[in-house]
């Protein structure tokens, strides 16, 4: 019933993430998210969205600190406006990165807050992404590195039962902690203070290191040994860490396994929830799901489209079909309507968008109307006393003959010789000449040539040809030019004598 309408949506997508850098050291630093990624995509799933504008916040930036947006494929743009949107010079870049270049030791905090993109999916969608997750560190926690304050970086690691607890102090450019077991990387955790349950990890010697956004180690904790099944923990195990030094676990014994060798689902779920990287994995999964789900529509825009385009189209279509529906209504329920209302129902008609007055075109007692005929009876036309008109027929009969049959003709290809009886005209006379007052033109007689061409003669005209003479010796006969031969006629003579 209605034509299709293309709607260009504009949506806002909040993200549980951040993109920032916090430092008080000179150098070049990339803004990174909670996973350590520096590249920002307009659409991380289909990679078909271009980045149009960015809104960046800053604290502590001085004239010697430069912030640049780096475009996909090369080129960059310096950002000099903070706290409001900046339109990017490259409107076709599908990914960007943001870097801070410092020359001083002042504390600087830079964070990306909003990003506007144009997604080509679904005919075109303007998407605004907002980074709403609180950054791990805040401005003021570092201070200026050239001021001499803050002390050296230290990490303290302790064991509380099965919990590995750490505390990071004075870590400049701190980003995360790295946990290692037996000298091998185990995982990354966020926060200067935290803990992780080692029951799901296993026995071993653990260390905690503070790292910056580029994964550089700032400082490392003391070693902490965790043992299970009676292996004492909390210090250097000494000797073979895999042996049984005796004694019990100061953190308490683990519950005995379920009888029958079965699996305790509750314990398995508890260990899963205490996984040190559980929040990281869950965050990755949550972000992947949120990126796969289409953004919600802008309902205000949808409402405007409905009121401005769809609703008028519906009303117009109702007007278009109203005469048909009125006819159906009048045919089925017209009598009942007229009985109740006292008049026949009006038939609505299509109206133009401009306001038109309602005109009642209904005529009372239509069935009683008769044509205005001045004669009450049919007229009787009597032509018996009409005037007689004499008709004279002076025509004579004649016959039209086929000229191909009336005039004899020879068969195609037949030759007629002069004097042949078939040349008889059959009584057709030669037409008499027409007398004309205009004299006929006369043709002058041809003049004889003054110098006729010579006629060739044989070499010896006195000797007549002899039949017995050898070839090549007979004289050439000379034609008689005084009496020309008679003219041959192969056609019938024309009746006019021509």
CA distance 39 to 30: 9
Task: Say yes or no: 118 and 58 in one domain.
Answer: yes
Q: Is the pLDDT of residue 103 over 70?
A: yes
In this structure, is residue 497 part of a structural domain? no
**What's the gap between Cα 310 and its chain centre?**
23
Local structure of 8: helix, strand or coil: coil
CATH number of the domain where residue 251 is located: 2.60.40.10
Lowest mean pLDDT among 16-25, 64-73, 341-350, 437-446: 341-350
If phi > 0 it is left, if psi is from -120 to 50 it is alpha, else beta; for residue 130 that is: beta
CA distance 152 to 233: 28
In this structure, is residue 219 part of a structural domain? yes
In this structure, is residue 358 part of a structural domain? no
In this structure, is residue 353 part of a structural domain? no
In this structure, is residue 397 part of a structural domain? no
- pLDDT at site 203: 86
> CB under 8 Å to 73, separation ≥6 — which residues?
93
Final residue in a domain of this structure, among 348, 365, 384: 348
More confident residue, 211 or 105: 211
What is the pLDDT confidence band of residue 223, given thresholds at 50, 70 and 90?
confident
Residue 79 DSSP symbol: -
Final residue in a domain of this structure, among 332, 348, 364: 348
Question: Residue 333: which domain range?
Answer: 298-348
What is the pLDDT confidence band of residue 70, given thresholds at 50, 70 and 90?
very high
In this structure, is residue 221 part of a structural domain? yes
CA distances from 442 to 431, 439, 445, 497 (A): 22, 9, 9, 19
- pLDDT at site 147: 44
Total structural domains within the chain = 3
In this structure, is residue 144 part of a structural domain? no
Task: Say yes or no: 220 and 273 in one domain.
Answer: yes
414-449 pLDDT, tens per residue?
Answer: 777 777 777 666 667 777 777 777 777 777 766 666
Q: Is the pTM of this model over 0.95?
A: no
In this structure, is residue 428 part of a structural domain? no
Task: Say yes or no: 64 and 113 in one domain.
Answer: yes
- pLDDT at site 115: 93
Q: Is the pLDDT of residue 47 over 50?
A: yes
% of the chain residues with pLDDT over 70: 65
What is the pLDDT confidence band of residue 119, given thresholds at 50, 70 and 90?
confident
Task: Say yes or no: 187 and 273 in one domain.
Answer: yes
367-413 pLDDT, tens per residue?
Answer: 666 666 666 666 666 777 778 888 888 888 888 887 777 766 777 77
Residue written as tokens 């007007």?
319
Task: Say yes or no: 171 and 218 in one domain.
Answer: yes
């Amino acid at each position: 019933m209605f034509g299709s309408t293309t709607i260009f949506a504009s949506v806002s997508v909040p993200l549980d993430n951040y993109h920032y850098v916090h430092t008080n050291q000179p150098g070049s630093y990339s803004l990174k998210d909670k996973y350590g990624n520096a590249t920002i995509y307009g659409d991380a799933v289909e990679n078909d969205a271009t980045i149009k504008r960015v809104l960046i916040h800053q604290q502590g930036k001085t004239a010697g600190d430069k912030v640049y947006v780096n475009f996909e494929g090369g080129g960059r743009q310096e950002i000099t406006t903070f706290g409001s949107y900046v339109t990017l010079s490259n409107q076709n870049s599908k990914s960007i990165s943001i870097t801070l270049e410092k020359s001083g030791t002042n504390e600087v905090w830079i964070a990306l807050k909003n990003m506007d993109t144009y997604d080509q999916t679904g005919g075109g969608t303007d998407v605004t992404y907002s980074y709403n997750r609180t950054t791990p560190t805040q401005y003021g926690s570092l201070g200026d590195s050239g001021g001499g304050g803050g002390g050296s970086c230290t990490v303290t690691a302790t064991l509380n039962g099965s919990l590995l607890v750490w505390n990071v102090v004075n870590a400049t450019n701190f980003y995360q902690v790295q946990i290692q077991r037996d000298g091998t990387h185990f995982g990354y955790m966020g926060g200067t203070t935290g803990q992780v349950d080692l029951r799901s990890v296993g026995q071993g010697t653990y260390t905690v290191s503070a790292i910056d956004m580029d994964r550089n180690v700032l400082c490392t904790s003391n070693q902490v040994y965790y043992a299970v099944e009676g292996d004492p923990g909390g210090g250097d195990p000494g000797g073979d860490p895999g042996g049984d030094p005796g004694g019990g676990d100061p953190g308490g014994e683990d519950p005995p396994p379920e009888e029958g060798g079965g699996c305790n689902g509750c314990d398995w779920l508890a260990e899963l929830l205490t996984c040190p990287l559980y929040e990281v994995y869950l965050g990755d999964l949550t972000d992947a799901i949120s990126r796969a789900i289409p953004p919600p529509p802008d309902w205000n825009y949808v409402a405007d489209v409905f009121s401005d385009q769809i609703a008028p189209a519906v009303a117009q279509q109702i007007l278009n079909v109203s005469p048909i529906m009125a006819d159906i209504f009048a045919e089925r329920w017209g009598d009942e309507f007229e009985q109740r209302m006292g008049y026949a129902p009006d038939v609505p008609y299509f109206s133009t968008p401009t306001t038109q007055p309602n005109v009642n075109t209904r005529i009372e007692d239509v069935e009683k109307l008769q044509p205005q005929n001045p004669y009450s009876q049919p007229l009787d036309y009597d032509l018996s006393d009409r005037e007689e008109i004499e008709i004279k027929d002076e025509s004579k009969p004649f016959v039209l003959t086929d000229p191909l049959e009336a005039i004899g003709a020879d068969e195609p290809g037949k030759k007629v010789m002069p004097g042949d009886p078939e040349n008889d005209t059959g009584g057709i006379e030669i037409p008499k000449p027409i007398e004309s007052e205009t004299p006929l033109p006369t043709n002058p007689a041809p003049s004889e040539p003054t110098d006729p061409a010579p006629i060739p003669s044989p070499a010896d005209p006195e000797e007549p040809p002899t039949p017995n003479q050898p070839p090549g010796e007979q004289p050439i006969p000379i034609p008689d030019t005084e009496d020309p031969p008679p003219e041959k006629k192969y056609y019938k003579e024309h009746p006019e004598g021509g």
